[in-house]
């Protein structure tokens, strides 16, 4: 490691430092006050506001024509004209962060000799980019969609990329179908509608005719399609990879990331509203959590199958539309992924990061999964279009280990190799660089026999058994959400052929689901089941299987509604209790500015926002302190009443004390108001209810509104 990198590394606190962060310091510029502007060729610029022009010299100064000879003006405009690069053809909208990966011990060494998976003394730097799939760069974060979960591990043996999603299966089995799938889900070609949505004829037409999509469609239409936060999603490598151990044995493997905070979603009504109210909701949430020290964390797990058991299952383990049920192939947790540093510049890091499924390191390999093999071509190719052939030299993409070979030239080459030799073997045969004798990437010697054919294996023909397994495993309210989501989408399809065709697909999964959706969207209601539902359920499919061990409000956003005359002593006590449990509190008042407390209770607070400046959808819970005057003022404000009714409707906790309880019952008219604590005494609020858990995920205390039951 260079001394420059060493010294840059020291500049970081241990919480955020990784070798990659230090490596990036080589390219980070931090302008200081009164630094000079220069051109790109380094010449100081004294005026960047006026183009060089002819100034008339008649009576008074007047503007004459601008002069093309102004090389400074031209450079500024030319550089601007070329600022955009092609956005990703899918997953265009995303947000990313730096962090690290660590394994607990060497238990995975029975599967792999890759040190990143086995050496517990190592901390491997990572860069993780989350994304939506359908929408363009400027689309809203909370669209119903799959979320990308792409992890770049900067290992000492080279970069390893897991380019995964928040859903463990995929829409298609064979990479050759990807362009059709993407054309179908993207906005329609004649009018470029809709943006950031799959609710249109072409998508449902395609998936209706392509039953291999059935399983994945169930996941996307479930609550998984509208996560509360990137930090509350699972990540999956999706494809089947392989691990090679030092005895030369090979295992098939699936990769999983399990969020520490549990798996949580928005409600559809929230997601729709947030799309307009704060389209950057998820990217802000990621940064807010990291900046508040609530570092997003995932446990990393693997599922492995020894090579000789490949054909032991009633599904093909290389089929990406199938999962490996945990009952058959248990998860082994071997490490953790932590994100602890926001990016410094969006374009150079988040936009220019280039993931390739083909980037693996010794000890990790591919399988014959036909989706993965196609992906291994596609990603490298797409990066050349987006970023140029030297994309791996860009700071965010370059490995932390040495890179040296005889690849040369191409657009935007940065590295300068000082050598007369750019081929192998060479007459001098003196090295610089030679093939590695040890530690090189070794392909597994796989025995193959078969007939060259455009076809798919027999087990690739069955499409509904895992879709049924997923559906059966959902909690009753999750099933309702799923049926409502499909009904929403199909009601945006005008073509009767399209929505009728999808009812046939649903009827192969579950008769009652098909009937309920058909009834809603005006399709032909099936009179009998298309296929018997096998009735089996699986572990780890419902989000309810991922509750954190202890209920937590870590990083949850809590709005404290106040008006002049609130009880500050009580409010501050509750706020301290909430923030010490690591929730993030915001004061919302009638104006952004000073809010006066009731007499003798304090000196007042400064509101972070006013009632019209935010919406309830952007918070996980609300707390209203006591105070007669303040409650009277809140009661006169229609927006406040809307905040509270909406919060209640979205099944979120509402805490109220003293007069605020009566206000909720009499003015806001929330049902079940008898469940609110009579409250009022500060010690009661703080000591008994110091930790206000978010009710949707774990029933809280009696100052929290009851959670309405989901009913069909």
User: Which segments are annotated as binding site for heme?
Assistant: 379
CB of 356 to ligand HDD, least distance (A): 8
Q: How far is the CB of 57 from ligand HDD (least distance, A)?
A: 56
Q: CA-CA distance, 240 to 365, in Å (whole number)?
A: 10
Nearest to 354 by CA among 328, 389, 312: 389
Q: What CA–CA distance (Å, rounded) separates 516 from 384? A: 47
Position of minimal CB gap to ligand HDD: 148
Torsion of CA 304, 310, 313, 316, to 10 degrees: 100
Binding mask 166-195 for ligand HDD (x = CB under 6 A): ----x----x--x-----------------
Name the CA radius of gyration of the chain, rounded.
29
Q: Does 367 bind ligand HDD (CB under 6 A)?
A: no
What is the rounded distance in angstroms from the CA atom of residue 229 to the CA atom of residue 237?
Answer: 19
- At closest approach, how far in Å is the CB of 310 from ligand HDD? 19
CA 519 to chain centre: 34
Asked if residues 621 and 655 have their Cβ atoms less than 8 Å apart, the reply is yes
Separation in Å, CA 570 to CA 560, 562, 665, 685:
12, 12, 21, 8
| Residue nearer to ligand HDD on the CB measure, 371 or 505 | 371
90 binds ligand HDD, rule: CB under 6 A: yes
238 near ligand HDD, judged by CB under 6 A: yes
Q: Is 224 an interacting residue with respect to ligand HDD (CB under 6 A)?
A: no
* C-beta of residue 63 within 8 angstroms of C-beta of residue 72: no
Phi-psi region of 179 (alpha: psi -120 to 50; beta: other; left: phi over 0): alpha
91 among known catalytic residues:
yes
Reduced DSSP (H G I as helix, E B as strand, rest coil) percent helix, strand, coil of the chain, to 5 = 35, 15, 50
Residue 673 touches ligand HDD, criterion: CB under 6 A: no
Q: Which of 570, 623, 558 is nearest to 597 (CA)?
A: 570
Which residues lie closer than 8 Å to 31 by C-beta, 6 or more apart?
none
Is 484 a binding residue for ligand HDD by CB under 6 A? The answer is no
One of 113, 153, 355, 623 touching ligand HDD (CB under 6 A): 355
In terms of C-beta density within 10 A (0-12 exposed, 13-18 middle, 19 or more buried), how is residue 465 classed?
A: middle
Comparing CB distances to ligand HDD, the nearer of 124 and 382 is 382
Between 144 and 596, name the residue whose CB sits nearer to ligand HDD.
Answer: 144
DSSP 8-state symbol, 606:
E
Q: With binding defined as CB under 6 A, does residue 91 bind ligand HDD?
A: yes
CA distance 147 to 238: 12
Residue from the set 322, 375, 398, 650 that interacts with ligand HDD by CB under 6 A = 375
Told to check if 514 binds ligand HDD by CB under 6 A, we report no
The span from the CA of 410 to the CA of 406, in Å, is: 13
Residue 389 binds ligand HDD (CB under 6 A): no
Of 102, 100, 98, nearest in space to 121 by CA? 102
* Smallest distance, ligand HDD to C-beta of residue 203, A: 16
Q: Which stretch binds ligand HDD (CB under 6 A): 9-17, 87-95, 273-281, 437-445?
A: 87-95
* Per annotation, catalytic residue among 98, 159, 165, 466: 165
- 89 vs 417, beta carbon nearer ligand HDD: 89
Q: How many whole angstroms separate alpha carbon 594 and alpha carbon 597? A: 10
Q: How far is the CB of 367 from ligand HDD (least distance, A)?
A: 12
Give the residue, chosen from 143, 162, 163, 261, that forms a contact with ligand HDD under the rule CB under 6 A: 163
Contact string 12-51 vs ligand HDD (x = CB under 6 A): ----------------------------------------
Which residues are annotated as catalytic? 91, 165
Q: Under the rule (CB under 6 A), what is the footprint of ligand HDD?
A: 88-91, 94, 129, 131, 148, 150, 163-165, 170, 175, 178, 238-239, 320, 355, 371, 374-375, 378-379, 382
């Amino acid at each position: 490691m260079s001394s420059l990198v060493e010294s840059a590394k020291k500049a970081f606190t241990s919480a955020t430092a990784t070798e990659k962060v230090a490596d990036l310091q080589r390219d980070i510029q931090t302008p200081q006050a009164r630094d000079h502007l220069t051109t790109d060729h380094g010449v100081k610029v004294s005026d960047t506001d006026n183009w060089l022009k002819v100034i008339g010299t008649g009576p008074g100064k007047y503007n004459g024509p601008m002069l093309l000879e102004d090389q400074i003006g031209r450079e500024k405009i030319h550089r601007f004209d070329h600022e955009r690069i092609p956005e990703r053809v899918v997953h265009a909208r995303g947000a990313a962060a730096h962090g690290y990966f660590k394994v607990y011990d060497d238990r995975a060494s029975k599967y792999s000799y890759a040190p990143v998976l086995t050496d517990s003394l190592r901390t491997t730097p990572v860069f993780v980019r989350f994304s939506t799939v359908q929408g363009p760069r400027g689309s809203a974060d909370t669209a119903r969609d799959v979320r990308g979960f792409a992890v770049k591990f900067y290992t000492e043996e080279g970069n390893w990329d897991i380019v995964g999603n928040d859903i463990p299966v995929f829409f298609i089995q064979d990479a050759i179908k990807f362009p059709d799938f993407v054309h179908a889900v993207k906005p329609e070609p004649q009018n470029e509608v809709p943006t950031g949505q799959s609710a249109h004829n072409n998508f449902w037409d395609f998936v209706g005719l392509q039953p291999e999509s059935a399983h994945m469609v169930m996941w996307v239409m479930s609550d998984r399609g509208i996560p509360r936060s990137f930090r509350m999603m699972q990540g999956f490598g999706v494809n089947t990879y392989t691990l090679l151990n030092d005895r030369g044995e090979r295992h098939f493997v699936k990769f999983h990331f399990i969020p520490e905070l549990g798996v949580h979603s928005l409600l559809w009504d929230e997601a729709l509203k947030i799309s307009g109210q704060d389209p950057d909701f998820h990217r802000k949430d990621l940064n807010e959590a990291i900046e508040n020290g609530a570092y997003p964390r995932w446990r990393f797990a693997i599922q492995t199958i020894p090579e000789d058991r490949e054909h032991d299952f009633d599904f093909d383990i290389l089929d990406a539309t199938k999962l490996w049920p945990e009952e058959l192939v248990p998860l082994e947790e071997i490490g953790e992924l932590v994100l602890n540093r926001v990016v410094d510049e969006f374009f150079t890091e988040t936009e220019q990061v280039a993931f390739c499924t083909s980037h693996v390191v010794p000890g990790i390999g591919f399988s014959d999964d036909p989706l993965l093999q196609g992906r291994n071509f596609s990603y490298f190719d797409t990066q050349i279009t987006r970023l140029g052939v030297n994309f791996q030299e860009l700071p965010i993409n370059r490995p932390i280990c040495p890179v040296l070979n005889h690849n040369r030239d191409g657009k935007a080459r940065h590295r300068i190799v000082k050598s007369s030799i750019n081929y192998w073997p060479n007459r001098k045969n003196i090295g610089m660089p030679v093939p590695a004798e040890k530690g090189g990437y070794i392909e597994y010697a796989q025995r193959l026999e078969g007939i060259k054919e455009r076809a798919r294996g027999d087990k690739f023909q069955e499409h509904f058994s895992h879709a049924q397994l997923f559906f059966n495993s959902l909690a009753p309210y999750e099933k309702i959400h799923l049926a409502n989501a499909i009904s929403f989408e199909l009601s945006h399809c005008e073509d009767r052929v399209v929505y009728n065709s999808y009812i046939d697909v649903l009827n192969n999964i579950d008769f009652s689901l098909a009937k309920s959706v058909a009834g809603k969207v005006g399709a032909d209601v099936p009179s009998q089941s298309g296929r018997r539902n096998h009735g089996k359920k699986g572990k780890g499919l419902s989000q309810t299987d991922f509750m954190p061990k202890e209920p937590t409000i870590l990083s949850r956003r809590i709005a404290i509604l106040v008006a002049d005359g609130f009880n500050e002593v009580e409010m501050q006590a509750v706020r301290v209790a909430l923030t010490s449990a690591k929730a993030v509190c915001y004061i919302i008042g009638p104006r952004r500015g000073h809010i006066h407390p009731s007499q003798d209770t304090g000196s007042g607070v400064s509101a972070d926002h006013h009632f019209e400046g935010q919406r309830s959808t952007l918070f996980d819970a609300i707390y209203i302190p006591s105070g007669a005057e303040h409650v009277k003022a809140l009661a006169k404000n229609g927006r406040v009443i809307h905040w509270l009714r909406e919060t209640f409707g979205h099944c979120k906790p509402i805490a109220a004390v003293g007069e605020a309880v009566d206000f909720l019952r009499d003015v806001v008219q929330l049902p079940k108001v008898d469940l609110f604590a009579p409250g009022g005494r500060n010690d009661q609020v703080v000591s008994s209810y110091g930790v206000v858990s978010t009710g949707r995920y774990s029933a809280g205390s009696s100052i929290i509104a009851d959670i309405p039951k989901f009913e069909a």
